Structure 1
Amino acid sequence: MLLSLVLHMYSMCCVLPAAVLLGTAPTYVLAWGAWRLLSAFLPSRFYQAVDDRLYCIYQSMVLFFFENCTGVQILLYGDLPKNKENIIYLANHQSTVDWIVADMLAIRQNALGHVRYVLKDGLKWLPLYGCYFSQMYLVIFPEGTRYNPELTKVISASQTFAAQEGLPVLKHVLTPRIKATHVAFDSMKNYLDAIYDVTVAFEGTVDDKGQRKEAPSMAEFLCKECPKIHIHIDRIDKKDVPEEQVYMKRWLHERFEIKDKLLIEFYDSLDPERRNKFPGESVNSKLSLKKTLPSFLILSGLTAGMLMTEAGRKLYVKTWIYGTLIGCLWVSIKA
């Protein structure tokens, strides 16, 4: 009986957040759609300001579950973000939690409403979200897919490609691809302040034999199976980034060589004092509940209110159905 209760409580750690995050999606889409119509004849800066605020409210609710409720410790190293900037965020990719880590940094710079992601092509078909998330804090994972130590064929293919190209072979990251980074930088260079080269390590992802394990999934993360996230940041001024693709390709690989060295020390160091940490001093960055709880209360309250009436429930269902269809149609047109 006690075991059943424990298992039930464990499952609720991820079921409840998932239900709230998905359940409030129509509320968010309705609010955004209403503002889109109301602002149609206003200068675009007015639309953008409110759009950013709405997006910030939703993403803050996401962080309420993924940071405040899980109690995870965020340890920051390197060039700690201070001022709000227009950036491209380049990071190693190992988990479905990675996009939330980008949010964790953005909220600490008061830039959460400006975050957008370069997504895998298939993710643009996500109901309600896909056409919106892929729309200036641009997040790119140059590896193209997640690093999973259990997928040995993917790692081997990446290392073989690097060797064939005459590039150093990497151990804890995959060989980066240049296309998305180059296109993003070339399109945004007149507005950019910097590139943030971010290296992320999830503590507790090494087994008893010292072998690296798969990074936590969203469900595992919400079930508090990741005690700490270590985030190393290198701020690179845009003038220090080569603009031509052939030179940027070499530059990007060199950045991933640096990531690899950081991760080798984090995971493989024989010195217990250096293992499970990045070089230099770390800052334990705790997120105030005031940053996230109001968003949770606003969105969940509005959703509950809508579901309490028959007309509200009909509108809710229609938003899911027609919002998804319109989003897919929009993505098809853009493709």
Structure 2
Amino acid sequence: MEPNGLKQRHHPSEPKPISPEDLQRHGIADTAPSLQHPAGPVKHGGPMQALRMSLFGLYFLGSCLCINVSQFLGAPLYLYNKDWYYAWMAVTKQHFGLLITTMTQWWSPTVVRVSGDESVRGQLRQTEDGRLECDFPDRMVLVANHQIYTDWLYLWWSAYTARMHGHIYIILKESLKWIPLIGTGMQFFSFIFLSRKWANDKPRFQHRLQKLKARHRGPISGEHELDPMWLLIFPEGTNLSKNGRDSSARWAAKTNQPDLRHAMLPRSTGLLFCLQELEDSVEWVYDCTMAYEGVPRGEYGQDLFTLKSTYFEGRPPRSVNMHWRRFAVKDMPLSSPTEFEKWVLDRWREKDDLLEEFLQNGRFPADPEGVRYEVAGPRLNGMPRLDKSENRKNRGYIETEVRPGSPVEFLQIFVPGAAAVLVVNVAVKMIRLVTKVVGS
């Protein structure tokens, strides 16, 4: 695909959007957000928003607290057996994956439309009950464009659909590790925090990557010497916004190259370092292009789909769209930083064209033979029946939603904490009983 280098702007034929100031002059300022928002008017009034916010906070913070308790309970395993320690933390990471999956299902339900090109043919499957299952490898580097703050949530859910939600590692900015409760949990998850000062980051980054490719036989390695790992990195460095857009334009001018229209120019240093350090322990880089329905040309999803809008007002994106591709590490020019930078930039220009097609057509392109659809009926040799109809509606796409496989699966989050409370309660009663017997 060839980029045209156009900068983001409103098409001349499009009507100028109504500004809040214009509406205010006409005495209808209170309705401005509803008229402008791509998800329509606010669905929940003030009292209901307050209730939804309270229940959301109770569930999210309560679950995070339980996960933290589980992590601290497992922390002593590090001194006894590091393999068991990492296995325990993988379970707590699964619990957080369940938390964000159910959180999205209950407070922010939306259509998720998934497609891919020929490189992932047969790896996307829709189950008989409509869920997505991704048959992706258990070790890979995952890259994505960064549209809004919650991109990582849908990517973690994708890991859940591949049964890899306990083995995802995310590269984050260092300031996030100091968030109370959540930051502590992310440190236990062995996420990689960078200050964006390469001289300081490189030794720590290298140390973490060496751990991710260490060969051993732990309880989560199974028959393999390497533990499962999905390493998620956003080469753009931050989510798309006006500031990010301006920064990308300045970088384009400085390096004398066309800017992108719907994404930001990527930086390749971190990704190259990851692939060089992981060496032959990873065969594939998977690429996901993210887009959210309803974001007008020239505007930014982060300004429209805020935490308040998405979870409390009842105005999530009408659809979240994910387009998958994969690339073999052996075919990448890892020995030349200049060539690798060009390779990454070429992939991002392809992304930019994909995003342009999404804006024009409302969906990404799809490989018509790329998706497997399960249908009802007895299994054949233990395998599900597949719909091979050529006339299937939306062939090549999976339209699904973020939800767990079982409605009670989220209860796993609270089991370790509840078990610890039970054990402590029994121990206290035993101590009291012994004390009473000895005292008598």
Calculate the TM-score normalised by the size of structure 1. 0.78
CA distance in 1, matches of 2:414, 2:99: 9
Query: Following the alignment from structure 1 to structure 2, what is the Cα–Cα distance between the partners of residues 76 and 111?
Result: 18
Cα pair 1:72 1:224 within 8 Å, conserved: no
After superposition, what is the alpha-carbon deviation per residue over 1:172-199, rounded to whole angstroms, capped at 9, x for unaligned?
Answer: 1111112221222122232213111111
Q: 2:188 — aligned with what?
A: 132
Deviation sequence 1:199-242 (CA, Å, 0-9, x none): 10011222xxx553433233332234212100011111111222
Which residue identity does 2:154 align to in structure 1?
V
C-alpha distance after superposition, 1:291-317 (max 9, x if no partner): 56422x343577689999xx9xxxxxx
Larger Rg: 2
Q: Amino acid of the residue matched to residue 239 of structure 2?
A: R
- Mark the runs of 5 or more structure 2 residues left unpaired by the alignment: 1-41, 125-133, 193-228, 367-395, 426-440
Closer/same/farther in 2, CA of residues 300 and 46 from structure 1, 3 Å limit? closer
Q: Which of 90, 99, 102 does residue 52 from structure 1 map onto?
A: 90
- Counterpart contact for 1:195–1:237, Cα < 8 Å: yes
Counterparts in 2 of 1:302 and 1:56: CA distance versus 1, 3 Å: closer
Aligned to 1:299: 413
Aligned residues between the structures: 294
Alpha carbons of structure 1 residues 15 and 125: separation in structure 2 relative to 1, 3 Å: same
1:98 aligned partner:
151
Cα 1:292/1:183, change in 2 over 3 Å: farther
Q: Does 1:31 align with 2:67?
A: no
Kindly indicate whether residue 280 of structure 2 is the aligned counterpart of residue 227 of structure 1. Answer: no
Match of 1:212 among 296, 299, 324: 299
Partner Cα distance (2:413, 2:83) in 1: 24
What letter corresponds to residue 230 of structure 1 in structure 2? N
Deviates more, 1:118-127 or 1:12-21: 12-21
Letter in 2 for 1:20: Y
Match of 1:86 among 106, 115, 139: 139
Which amino acid in 2 is paired with 1:186? Answer: Q
In 2, are the aligned partners of 1:63 and 1:292 still within 8 Å (CA)? no
Match of 1:238 among 329, 348, 357: 329
Question: More helix by proportion, 1 or 2?
Answer: 1
Structural RMSD (CA): 2.9
**CA shift for structure 1 position 23:** 2.5
Kindly indicate whether the alpha-carbon contact (under 8 Å) linking 1:85 and 1:194 is maintained by their aligned counterparts in 2.
Answer: no
In 2, distance between residues paired with 1:83 and 1:92?
Answer: 19
For 1:146, the aligned partner's letter is: N
1:250 aligns with 2:288: no
SS in 1 for 2:281: coil
Which residue matches 1:20?
59
After TM superposition, the structure 1 = structure 2 runs for residues 103-182 of structure 1, keeping only pairs within 5 Å, are 103-127=156-180, 128-133=184-189, 134-135=191-192, 136-148=229-241, 151=242, 153-182=243-272
Whether the 8 Å contact between 2:109 and 2:401 is mirrored in structure 1 is no
Partner of 2:398: 283
Question: Which amino acid is the alignment partner of residue 61 of structure 1?
Answer: L
**Conserved 8 A contact 2:69-2:417:** no
Matched, 1:201 2:316: no
Matched AA of 2:158: L
Alignment partners' CA distance in 1, 2:407 and 2:265 = 36
The answer to whether the 8 A contact 1:89-1:137 is kept is yes
3-state DSSP class of the match of 1:129? helix
Gaps of 5+ in 1: 270-274, 312-335
